[in-house]
Amino acid sequence: MDVILAGLALFNLGSMVTIFLPRSVRRKAVPWATFAFALLATELAWIWLPLQALFAWMLINGGALDSSLGVIALCILVVSWCGLVWSVWMAYQARPAVEYALRAALGQKFRDDILPERRLQLRDDVRFSDWRNPIETGHPEVEVLRDIPYQPGGIRQHLDIYRPREIPEQGCPVLLQIHGGAWMMGDKTHQALPLMHLLAARGWICVAVNYRLSPSVGFPTHLEDCKSALCWIREEGHAYGMDTSFVAVTGGSAGGHLAALMGLTANDPQFQINHPGVDTSVQACVPFYGLYDFLVRFEQHPNRKLYEDFVTGRVLHQSRGENPALWDLASPVTHIHSGAPPFMVVHGALDSLATVSDARVFSQKLRKVSENPVAYVELPGAEHAFDIFHSPRTEFTINGVHQFLEWARSR
């Protein structure tokens, strides 16, 4: 029993170390290992804490404290529980962080700019029932249409539609969701479900898209597929109840990178060779924990060599030395211009995979140039991919995204 208790204590200790590591140490850590430990300890801390307390109580009753190893393990475990309590508290700091970012970018009374009938659709509060099931994947008011091809080709060029069961005559505004997965994995059915169900239940149509994956293809094929999906929305969306005059785009991680490019490369002919006459502008852009500068020209990546080695030959089929123009082309920061749509950039302060400094630099540079608002939301205590779970942090964040989108639409 004492050995089992010690194992539990070591697991928790590893999670806490990854969360509270100083930045200088985190730069030398293995990102995927840090991410794996930290995500569960940040987003699911409210579940782990009572479960571990119950398990520890059972082990203690079984004699785990009969040895010094068990006593030491319990002491470590109790200290680690303080870290889990901290994680729960930090999740609730998402609400003021989101509110502050939106007010700073859109104005103190930005909600007054939202049309009254749309303001009624906003969800101001987050209740326990909204996040008590972290992996809930459905909503009674939402209909899902799956695996619709958006262009002739392979199975990866399909999309899913999340829409209200009752669609108004004028149609619904559209959110295009691009999944993440390091450009090499992932699927449209697994990400951003809390956001898409919230919006679809409140009068939006969400389109989740797959795209061809690396290493079998390299950039810009991923972006070209996403552009093709947007062209399908503009050409065929009316038949599914979409108001194609307002299309926003979002995505997380690699999807955040592609979403930012979608927002900044409207109607660029090199990315839509098969759809030269179709409007590929978007009216708002919400990238989550994306990557914004492949060239790392502002020294914002803590482990530059590890990052470059990962994308070379997989995502970018030519090295930085062989084709620096390709790396530049793949960087959203390159495409910043004054006519960019309104942006809401969301990033976790503890992100292990996509460094938060990249999001800060991108937001600052975009804000200096763009004629439209740029809201930068840095979420305290948040890891990469935090929003795959229903949690207090996720629910407060998607409430803010809904407010931002309704504000942009009302303009």
Point out the residues that are catalytic. Answer: 253, 351, 384
Straight-line distance from the first to the last Cα atom of the chain, in angstroms, rounded to the nearest whole number = 62
Task: Confirm if 333 and 292 have CB atoms less than 8 A apart.
Answer: yes
Residue written as token pair 């998607």: 398
| Dihedral sign of CA atoms 121, 114, 164, 197 in order | negative
Burial class (CB in 10 A: 0-12, 13-18, 19+), 147: exposed
Between CA 171 and CA 242 the distance in angstroms is 5
The SS3 of residue 347 is strand
Structure tokens that stand for 381 in this block: 């205590």
Task: Confirm if 175 and 207 have CB atoms less than 8 A apart.
Answer: yes
Burial class (CB in 10 A: 0-12, 13-18, 19+), 28: exposed
Bridge partners (DSSP) listed for residue 105: none
Task: Confirm if 254 and 180 have CB atoms less than 8 A apart.
Answer: yes
Bridge partners (DSSP) listed for residue 348: 379
Cα 195 to its chain centre, rounded Å, is: 10
Bridge partners (DSSP) listed for residue 247: 174
As a residue count, the chain comes to: 411
The SS3 of residue 274 is coil
Structure tokens that stand for 75 in this block: 């002491």
| Dihedral sign of CA atoms 270, 274, 277, 281 in order | negative
Please report how the helices 94-106 and 392-410 are oriented relative to each other, as an axis angle in degrees rounded to 10: 20
Task: Confirm if 14 and 38 have CB atoms less than 8 A apart.
Answer: no
